[in-house]
Structure 1
Amino acid sequence: MAPLFNWGVKESHKGTPVVVKMENPNWDIDELEGPSEEDLLLTTKSSSRDKGKGKNAKQLTWVLLLKAHRAAGCLAQIAPALFGLVSAVKRRVASGRTDADIDGGGREKENPTVKSRFYTFIKVFLCLSVFLLCFEVVAYFKGWHFSAPHLELWAPTFGVRDVFDWFYARWVLIRVGYLAPPLQFLTNACIVLFLIQSIDRLVLCLGCFWIKFKKIKPVPKGGDVSDLESGDKGFFPMVLVQIPMCNEKEVYQQSIAAVCNLDWPKSNFLIQVLDDSDDPITQSLIKEEVHKWQEEGANILYRHRVIRDGYKAGNLKSAMNCSYVKDYEFVTIFDADFQPTPDFLKKTVPHFKDNDELGLVQARWSFVNKDENLLTRLQNINLCFHFEVEQQVNSVFLNFFGFNGTAGVWRIKALEEAGGWLERTTVEDMDIAVRAHLHGWKFIFLNDVECQCELPESYEAYRKQQHRWHSGPMQLFRLCLPDVIKAKVCVSQFSSPLFMEILP
């Protein structure tokens, strides 16, 4: 330790002091001094040179100890994390649970025997893959390389080396003859799909630029809706508003209030609160909220299903089977976390006037928490590209795009002709959009009409959301392919649902 007070004492150390903070509290080193001028002079005495060499050696030793200490700390942190990850994967595979099982992803109940066999096959395949990988590594480091004449079949001798040589030669033959061709085919297919996706994105960007350059914007054929307070006759058809929800204790009040404040004649629209909650407390809270708005004059109803078959698709299907639905011409859907603006219906419904081929009007999403953290900012960029480029370009040039499941107005006749809501996939919105398009209905996307919602702020919520969104497209492709082939549509209408909506 350096003295705290050195008045009147000539300072003999000219080096630069280095303060080292140790993570381990057991260390008691407070200061290490750099080399002094005496260590750098060649004309000093031998004793001074020995002292400098000893000091530098001690400093090097402490630096090495510090680096070793940090490396040991990193290894100590990595090892528990790795063991925790392996144990979590082992528990998940052993129990056969997936994200769809946790979230209730809309799948039918599977046979436990078939499920167990499937996961057993996966575990056996993984173990075999790890074993073959280890075998390849050992063969590489041992130099067990064979030329073409040595790949012929022969009977192994009793030596251990010969047994390994025989197994390795057989594995190379199987890999070259049976595994390499399909892998090469899959690689080529992935390259082709990547090129298709890249060309699709390039065309979409050029289309978006053309829309901005020409200022193309959907305009209602029948003109704007008259002001409700003016008393003039306007286009005010019967509209059914549906709010499907399930255990939405945090956001049900905002969504119900926003829908009840829609600027539309009270006698011309009905609100259905479709509650699939299994929590009695949540059910009672939503009932009280609905009763409160009923007392204020809102035309709102509460529906609850005891048997939750089909999840959201089953909930919407059950609500459409009500006898009073036949009195309504259009239906709009808002998820529980969406809050439309009061003029939402006045900006969307007029597009249906004098346009009998129009089946869907989709609005854009806006996010109230887009600047919350890095994850929400990245999601905002991704979804803005989806709405600004994909949806808008497909709407203008193809009259088709994927329904986003909420913030859209459907013509009930289009839903009925398409077969209504089906419970066969977890992407019921994409399913109904493809079937309606194959029946000849056209869609319009309004980029200037926004409906507020929230983005997942945690990675766990984001992962579950993405799993729900991406778990059904390939299943839908398999189910809709026969209908796409049989449908009487042109080449562009055929390629749009097949490549732009299902495959990406």
Structure 2
Amino acid sequence: MWDAMVIFSTTVIWTLLLVSIALVVAGYIYYLKWASKPLPELNDQDAPFVSIMVPAHNEGIVIVKTVQALLNFNYPHDRYEVIVINDNSDDDSADLLAALQRKNPTRNFKVINTDNITGGKGKSNALNIGFKSAIGDVIAIYDADNTPEPNALRYLVAELQQNDEYGTVIGKFRTRNKDVNLLTRFINVETLSFQWMAQAGRSQMFKLCTIPGTNFVVRRSIIEAIGGWDEKALAEDTEISFRIYKMGYRIKFQPAAVTWEQEPQTVDVWFRQRTRWVKGNIYVIVKNVKLLFDPTAKRIRFDIFYFLSTYFLLLTALLMSDIVFVMSVSGYVHVTVPGFSNSLWLLAVILYVLSVFVSITTEKGEMKWGNILVIIAMYIIYTQMWLIVALKGMYLYIKESVFHLESSTKWYKTQRYK
């Protein structure tokens, strides 16, 4: 039995590692093609009206900086509005936003203040509330902790206008507080490698991307057609991506559109955030697994397999691997295929480090020896952290969705820092 567990876990992990390497290669090809092309241009006279929506719950620490960045976009000022949904906040957000409105009386800047009756039910509900007041033909979404670069919106909208097949255009997000500690360095490498591997790589190979939840634009007609955001979905970005693809649209990745966001600086905050992500993504998988057998959903079958493999196969393989390792070190079991296992694990570590490092070399200032050490530490530490998060997320999903022991339609607050 123990040998079978070793063979199973090694096979699964290696298969997914090879898929990741293929995505890194494809992502790098995407990067080279993108870097060789001129950036999309926007004619100000033809610029569509954009409604920027910012769902916010107790975001007083960061909301002023975010709104100021949005109001300073290099986009015709009479062609966009900013709508902040101050959703059932009990901090000083309302006062801060009111002061911003007084300082910007000539701008299209709206604040929607909700209470625990009209709001307070999570990001998706807040977006649906904001959408009712939005007048733009294009909808843009930014999280409350974002500081987008001045041209971000311009590049997103210009790309959207390039092709009618694009239902959504997503930008790139960077870690604003990456140098705070080892955890934020892990997150910085993770986000960069994810975007150039899972986003750019999938786009190159399968013309697939997943909406990241912030720094993206979507056609208003799409939101109207799908009836808004699913208020049961914690991972509303992944959920809406599947529905957009099922409509026949594509999602385009434009790396020139950059926003800087604040990431968790402590393990407990990170743990709560990522547990919510896992639980939300499991909801999306369960909701859409039937599309594997739907002829109209051929385009997104790879993504369904990708998510299934990550949250079920990989989780099982890592768990088995850890159990065998602990039992063998303790002397309770003896594995008869140590050469097979050890040699492949060493090679897996090397390939993992190289593939992740290649993916982050696309970013200026990230090609440094220190990041190799960070990636090695990620393989040893961060993978095990993710395993615990994935197990907790799955437990909470079963607890809430199967046994209905708790309500999941509420805000899950990520701590902010000055």
Q: TM-score range by the shorter chain?
A: 0.5 to 0.7
Residues 387-431 of structure 1 deviation map (CA, whole Å, 9 limit, x = unaligned): 122111122332222111001111122223334200122111110
- Aligned counterparts of 1:263 and 1:237: Cα–Cα separation in 2: 14
Q: Counterpart of 2:157? A: 349
Instruction: Select the residue among 85, 100, 113 that pairs with 1:304.
Output: 113
- Aligned counterparts of 1:269 and 1:371: Cα–Cα separation in 2: 34
Pairing 1:385-464 to 2, within 5 Å after superposition? 385-464=193-272
How far did residue 484 of structure 1 move? 4.7
- Aligned counterparts of 1:375 and 1:280: Cα–Cα separation in 2: 28
By relative contact order (CA 8 Å, sep 6+), the higher-ranking structure is 2
- Aligned counterparts of 1:408 and 1:502: Cα–Cα separation in 2: 25
Q: TM-score, normalised by structure 2?
A: 0.67
Are residues 1:496 and 2:305 paired?
Answer: no
- Aligned counterparts of 1:263 and 1:216: Cα–Cα separation in 2: 22
Q: Which one-letter code corresponds to 1:301 in the other structure? A: K
Deviation larger for 341-350 or 206-215 = 206-215
- Aligned counterparts of 1:215 and 1:269: Cα–Cα separation in 2: 27
Q: TM-score, normalised by structure 1?
A: 0.56
The question of whether the paired residues in 2 share the 8 Å contact of 1:362 and 1:445 is answered with: yes
SS at match of 1:320: helix
How far did residue 284 of structure 1 move? 2.4
Over 3 Å counting, the alpha-carbon distance change for 1:468 and 1:253 in structure 2 is same
Are residues 1:287 and 2:98 paired?
Answer: yes
How far did residue 358 of structure 1 move? 0.5
Q: Counterpart of 1:273? A: 84
How far did residue 245 of structure 1 move? 0.6
Over 3 Å counting, the alpha-carbon distance change for 1:376 and 1:417 in structure 2 is same
SS at match of 1:460: helix
Over 3 Å counting, the alpha-carbon distance change for 1:189 and 1:312 in structure 2 is farther
- Aligned counterparts of 1:254 and 1:463: Cα–Cα separation in 2: 26
Unaligned runs of 5+ in 2: 311-418
Over 3 Å counting, the alpha-carbon distance change for 1:438 and 1:217 in structure 2 is farther
The question of whether the paired residues in 2 share the 8 Å contact of 1:415 and 1:432 is answered with: no
Q: Which one-letter code corresponds to 1:272 in the other structure? A: I
Over 3 Å counting, the alpha-carbon distance change for 1:393 and 1:219 in structure 2 is farther
Over 3 Å counting, the alpha-carbon distance change for 1:205 and 1:280 in structure 2 is closer
The question of whether the paired residues in 2 share the 8 Å contact of 1:263 and 1:342 is answered with: yes
Q: Counterpart of 1:112? A: none
The question of whether the paired residues in 1 share the 8 Å contact of 2:171 and 2:254 is answered with: yes
Q: Which one-letter code corresponds to 1:352 in the other structure? A: L
Percent identity over the alignment? 21
How far did residue 208 of structure 1 move? 2.6
Q: Which one-letter code corresponds to 1:208 in the other structure? A: G
Are residues 1:224 and 2:41 paired?
Answer: yes
SS at match of 1:488: helix
Instruction: Select the residue among 202, 222, 226 that pairs with 2:21.
Output: 202
The question of whether the paired residues in 2 share the 8 Å contact of 1:248 and 1:282 is answered with: yes
Q: Which one-letter code corresponds to 1:206 in the other structure? A: V
Pairing 1:251-266 to 2, within 5 Å after superposition? 251-266=62-77
- Aligned counterparts of 1:186 and 1:286: Cα–Cα separation in 2: 56
Highest Rg: 1 or 2? 1
How far did residue 212 of structure 1 move? 4.7
SS at match of 2:256: strand
SS at match of 2:20: helix
Residues 57-85 of structure 1 deviation map (CA, whole Å, 9 limit, x = unaligned): xxxxxxxxxxxxxxxxxxxxxxxxxxxxx
SS at match of 2:239: helix
- Aligned counterparts of 2:231 and 2:6: Cα–Cα separation in 1: 34
Instruction: Select the residue among 182, 187, 209 that pairs with 1:374.
Output: 182
- Aligned counterparts of 1:280 and 1:454: Cα–Cα separation in 2: 19
- Aligned counterparts of 1:213 and 1:253: Cα–Cα separation in 2: 37
- Aligned counterparts of 2:309 and 2:97: Cα–Cα separation in 1: 39
Pairing 1:463-502 to 2, within 5 Å after superposition? 463-490=271-298, 493-501=299-307
- Aligned counterparts of 2:92 and 2:127: Cα–Cα separation in 1: 23
SS at match of 2:209: coil
How far did residue 185 of structure 1 move? 9.4
Q: Which one-letter code corresponds to 1:207 in the other structure? A: A
Q: Counterpart of 1:242? A: 53
Over 3 Å counting, the alpha-carbon distance change for 1:395 and 1:451 in structure 2 is same
Over 3 Å counting, the alpha-carbon distance change for 1:213 and 1:429 in structure 2 is closer
Q: Which one-letter code corresponds to 1:468 in the other structure? A: R
How far did residue 214 of structure 1 move? 5.1
- Aligned counterparts of 2:227 and 2:7: Cα–Cα separation in 1: 38
Aligned residue pairs, count: 308
How far did residue 184 of structure 1 move? 10
- Aligned counterparts of 2:10 and 2:224: Cα–Cα separation in 1: 40
Q: Counterpart of 1:315? A: 126
Residues 125-147 of structure 1 deviation map (CA, whole Å, 9 limit, x = unaligned): xxxxxxxxxxxxxxxxxxxxxxx
Task: Output the aligned Cα RMSD.
Answer: 2.6
